[in-house]
Structures are given as structure tokens and as C-alpha cells.
Amino acid sequence: MRSKQASHGAGRTFAEMKLVVVEDDERLADVLRRDLTEQGHVVDCCTNGVEALSWLEHGSYDAAVLDINLPGLDGLSVLQRARSRGIALPVLLLTARDTTDDVVAGLDAGADDYLRKPFALAELHARLRSIARREPEPPRTELRVGDLRFDLTARRAFRGARELSLTAREASFLEYFMRNADRTLSRAMIEDALFDRRNESLSNVIDVYVRRLRAKLAEGNESQLLHTVRGIGYRMGDR
């Protein structure tokens, strides 16, 4: 794997991009690596979702080509976790699934574009050029839901003038709920975004953290912002 010391190249041209290709089909991954390298790019490849998430968090890439069907952690879960952690690089999703629901799920998870397999390399190039031209959104420094604020830099939360005393894990839960405000989040989505299922027991952990957050979010006559959606999961919202 190449060194990750280069800064994110927002000003680079398409021909100078640093890319990560995440594809568990080693033959296809090798084809993509050789082709994109010949196009003038710097290309890293990995073959499983757990490794991909680590590279996205600690690398300095201009764009990612991400397959959905990956061992360890599927591509949609990788994408959801990356977006929940503030990783905003353009992502082109590769999928062998061809239903509208599958495409919508990929775009809702944070993909910038998608490409169905099998595909022509020329179309891959065109879609990468398209997402590379898009202006990146400025990084967010604060999340707001009603009178609740979360300072992403200092990792501090406030309900009106009152500061919430949060542990690091509680802050991660709160950030995830606030980034997905007004969206119903299933237990599976929360587990995928916030836990490593290989190393953590999840029997009632989500319930524990939701109870803790609710107690800290609403004191006295303050309205509750974290709601249960019966039979589905939870929703953060001021109504």
C-alpha cells in the first residue's frame, strides 16, 4: 500500500487523481488497477470492507471505486460508516444488482454515482470524471436539531445554553443520530455504523446508549428529541 502522506487533492485534474479501488474479485481489481494506472492515476486496491473503511479513514484519496458485495463488511455499510464519520470524498459504487431499490439504497447511503456490472472501462472513466468535477461540500463544523447543537471539532453538545456531559461513545451515537435527523434508523443501520460486530457484543448495547442519551437530552420540561419508531428503530427530530 502506498504512503498516505499526500493531502487531499481537491484541485487536481482527473488525470492526477489518487484513487482507492475496493473490489473482492481479484481479477477485476487487477484489471481496474492496471487500466486506471495507465490513465495516469495513483491507485490502491483492497478486497474487503473492513480494510476499505480503514483506508478511507486514514488515506488521502480523491475518489473511491467501491463494490457493494464485499467480505467482512459490505459496500453499503462501508459507505454509511464513512459518511457518518465525515468522510466526504466522491464514491462510485459498483453493483451487480439491477433493481431500482438497490440503486436507491446505494445513493441514499451516500454514493455519488453508481455503475452496474458488467461495464465498459470507458464508462467507468466518464463517471469518475463526472464525480471528480463536482465541487466538494465545505466541511461541517456543527450539527443542529432544534435547539440541540453538536460541535464537531470540540466534540461538545449543547441543548440551548446547557452543555451535555457525554462519553466518547455517547457523542458518537449523538453525532450519528444528528447527521441522520428526521430519518428512521433501524437497529441494523446503527450497528453497521457504530460497532465492530466481530469484537463487540450487541445484545442490548443500543438500548443502553439510547436510554442514556434520552436522559441527557431532555431535562425538566425540555421536549424529547430521540424518538422510538415502534418495530423499526429510532428517529432524531424536534417533532
List every span in the chain annotated with CATH 1.10.10.10. 142-236
125 vs 123: CA distance, rounded Å:
5
The pLDDT-based confidence of 4 (bands split at 50, 70, 90) is: very low
The pLDDT-based confidence of 197 (bands split at 50, 70, 90) is: low
Assess whether pLDDT exceeds 70 at residue 138: no
List every span in the chain annotated with CATH 3.40.50.2300. 14-133
Question: How far, CA to CA in Å, does 93 sit from each of 106, 120, 130, 133, 151?
Answer: 7, 15, 13, 17, 31
Q: Which of 89-98, 103-112, 156-165 has the highest mean pLDDT?
A: 156-165
236 vs 174: CA distance, rounded Å:
9
- pTM equals 0.58
Q: Cα 137 to the chain's mean position, in Å?
A: 15
CATH of domain 14-133: 3.40.50.2300
Q: Which DSSP helix (H) or strand (E) runs through 93?
A: strand 91-95
The pLDDT-based confidence of 2 (bands split at 50, 70, 90) is: very low
Q: Which residues of 61-98 are buried (b: 16+ CB within 10 A; e: fewer)?
A: bbbbbbbbbbeebebbbbbbbbbbbebbbbbbbbbeee
Pick the CATH number of 142-236 from 1.20.1250.20, 1.10.10.10, 2.60.40.10, 2.30.40.10: 1.10.10.10
125 vs 38: CA distance, rounded Å:
12
Question: Average model confidence (pLDDT) for the chain?
Answer: 84
Q: Which DSSP helix (H) or strand (E) runs through 79?
A: helix 75-84
Assess whether pLDDT exceeds 50 at residue 146: yes
Assess whether pLDDT exceeds 80 at residue 116: yes
Instruction: List pLDDT tens digits, range 19-75.
Output: 999 999 999 999 999 999 998 899 999 999 989 988 888 878 889 999 998 998 889
State the pLDDT at residue 1.
33
State the pLDDT at residue 148.
96
State the pLDDT at residue 135.
61
Q: Which cell goes with 233?
A: 428503530
Assess whether pLDDT exceeds 50 at residue 10: no
Q: What are phi and psi of 2, to 5 degrees?
A: -75, 160
State the pLDDT at residue 236.
93
Which of 2-16, 121-135, 171-185 has the weakest average pLDDT?
Answer: 2-16
115 vs 65: CA distance, rounded Å:
10
The pLDDT-based confidence of 5 (bands split at 50, 70, 90) is: very low
214 vs 222: CA distance, rounded Å:
11
Counting Cβ atoms within 10 Å, is residue 120 exposed (0-12), middle (13-18) or buried (19+)?
A: exposed
Average pLDDT of span 172-176:
92
State the pLDDT at residue 60.
82
The pLDDT-based confidence of 103 (bands split at 50, 70, 90) is: confident
CB 210 within 8 A of CB 226: yes
State the pLDDT at residue 45.
94
Residue by residue, DSSP assigns 109-124 as TT-SEEEESS--HHHH
